């Protein structure tokens, strides 16, 4: 049992309940046993007591879009648009193997944990023929760090010779991709409420996947009862590609293929017209908002205010570390607020709305809103205690504002199912220097070839 008290608490429940001086009790079952104002009742038996003075306790952040393998290829194609960036990097990614993916994933997940993330998805879609079991490698990395993990088995079957963007040597045959996706679900997916590992289905994008694979992947996911994810409406280039090749917008194309619904969340959703926003809202289709990646690639600013007003589930994502080298999920809270205000002025998003995107919004995208995303009795104890009493936050009385608008806050304690994964700014289950060394080695090996 863990008792956190003398702490400001932002529950992010439906009412937005906050406690300026409160407590949270975590039971031995890894679930939240109590939350409220003032000190906690003395629990029976032994308990670890954590003094949260000067801190803010929030739900753990949920990362809804990532490509963990890209940690091994950061800092490249710095001034390219998405299509130019991909064209530069695809040949390097074609040399990936399980060792490189494992090292990159461990580094990326370790850094996410240090940035306040307790649950992350991953969208892995590059499977070199001689690369070994790269999907298993990233799953093992998540176990090493201790985060709740939602890897999605991606795929590409539309190579350059067929009018797609990726080179032919990094795409799969359609039937092989579907068979491998089914096998990954059968081997790894755990649908239980306490699950640490859920697998999704994620063909890469309209410009790298055939309509056959998109349609059959959706059918497969629904037959298996898992969620669907893909990139959509990220850039003007993609809009032009869909109109030229399919005669419609990206969202119209997705709907034509059965890719809108409450079991779907889409990465980016930057270039959406009013009709597209309305269709996403009407169908309950989620969006992973990646403000820093969109800015790094110059892709544009997503219409998050309009998406929220249309009741679209919106979460935050850091995106792959090659298109967003900082990869700090805590900082995306501020970036999301800034992006919204750049589009719509100072009333376009509040600090608390941004925190909701990073917590409950992400949980909704992943279909975990009943388990995580808010601090409520009975939910899994995925919690982050942010230290806000240092120089960088001095004088900001509103602790939610301090977290969102201030500099990146140190993580004093991060719990996943009541188990510590970060304490006093250090990883509990892995050594950061070892993760960094392995990541450097993976990068150098890829760049040498």
* pTM (global) more than 0.95: yes
Give the domains, in start order, of the chain with CATH numbers.
Answer: 2-59+375-427 (2.30.40.10), 61-365 (3.20.20.140)
Measured CA to CA, the distance from residue 350 to residue 373 in angstroms comes to 18
How do the pLDDT tens digits run along the chain, 449 residues long? 999 999 999 999 999 999 999 999 999 999 999 999 999 987 667 899 999 999 999 999 999 999 999 999 999 999 999 999 999 999 999 999 999 999 999 999 999 999 999 999 999 999 998 899 999 999 999 999 999 999 999 999 998 898 888 888 889 999 999 999 999 999 999 999 999 999 999 999 988 999 999 999 999 999 999 999 999 999 998 999 899 999 999 999 999 999 999 999 999 999 999 999 999 999 999 999 999 999 999 999 999 999 999 999 999 999 999 999 999 999 999 999 999 999 999 999 999 999 999 999 999 999 999 999 999 999 999 999 999 999 999 999 999 999 999 999 999 999 999 999 999 999 999 999 999 999 999 999 999 86
Helix (H) or strand (E) holding 362: helix 362-365
Q: Quick one: tokens of 162?
A: 């067929």
């Amino acid at each position: 049992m863990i008792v956190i008290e003398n702490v400001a608490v932002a529950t992010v429940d439906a009412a937005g309940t906050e406690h300026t001086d409160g407590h949270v009790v975590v039971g031995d079952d890894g679930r939240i046993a109590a939350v409220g104002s003032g000190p906690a009742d003395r629990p029976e038996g032994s308990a670890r007591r954590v003094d949260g003075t000067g801190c803010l306790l929030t739900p753990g952040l949920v990362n809804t879009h990532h490509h963990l393998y890209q940690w091994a290829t950061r800092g490249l194609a710095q001034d390219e648009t998405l299509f130019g960036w991909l064209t530069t990097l695809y040949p390097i990614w074609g040399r990936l193997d399980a060792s490189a993916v494992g090292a990159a994933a461990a580094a990326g997940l370790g850094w996410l944990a240090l940035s306040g993330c307790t649950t992350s998805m991953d969208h892995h879609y590059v499977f070199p023929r001689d690369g070994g079991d790269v999907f298993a490698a990233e799953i093992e990395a998540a176990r090493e760090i201790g985060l709740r993990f939602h890897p999605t088995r991606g795929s590409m079957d539309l190579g350059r010779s067929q009018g797609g963007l990726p080179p032919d040597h990094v795409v799969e045959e359609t039937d092989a991709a579907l068979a491998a996706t089914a096998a990954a679900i059968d081997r790894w997916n755990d649908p239980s409420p306490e699950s640490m590992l859920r697998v999704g289905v994620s063909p890469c994008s309209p410009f790298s996947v055939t309509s056959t694979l998109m349609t059959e992947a959706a059918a497969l996911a629904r037959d298996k009862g898992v969620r669907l994810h893909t990139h959509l409406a990220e850039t003007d280039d993609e809009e032009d590609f869909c109109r030229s090749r399919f005669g419609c917008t990206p969202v119209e194309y997705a709907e034509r293929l059965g890719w809108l619904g409450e079991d779907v969340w889409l990465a980016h959703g930057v270039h959406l017209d009013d009709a597209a926003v309305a269709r996403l809202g009407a169908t309950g289709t989620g969006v992973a908002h990646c403000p820093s990646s969109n800015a790094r690639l110059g892709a544009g600013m997503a219409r998050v205010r309009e998406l929220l007003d249309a009741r679209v589930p919106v979460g935050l994502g850091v995106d792959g570390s090659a298109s967003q080298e900082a990869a700090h999920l805590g900082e995306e809270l501020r970036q999301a607020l800034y992006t919204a205000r750049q589009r719509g002025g100072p009333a376009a998003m509040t600090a608390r709305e941004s925190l909701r995107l990073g917590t409950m919004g992400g949980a909704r995208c992943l279909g975990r809103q009943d388990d995580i995303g808010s601090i409520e009795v009975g939910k899994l104890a995925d919690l982050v205690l942010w230290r806000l009493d240092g120089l960088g936050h001095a004088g900001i009385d509103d602790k939610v504002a301090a977290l969102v608008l201030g500099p990146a806050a140190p993580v004093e304690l991060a719990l996943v199912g009541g188990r510590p994964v970060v304490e006093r700014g250090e990883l509990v289950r892995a050594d950061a220097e070892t993760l960094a060394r392995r990541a450097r080695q993976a990068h150098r090996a890829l760049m040498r070839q």
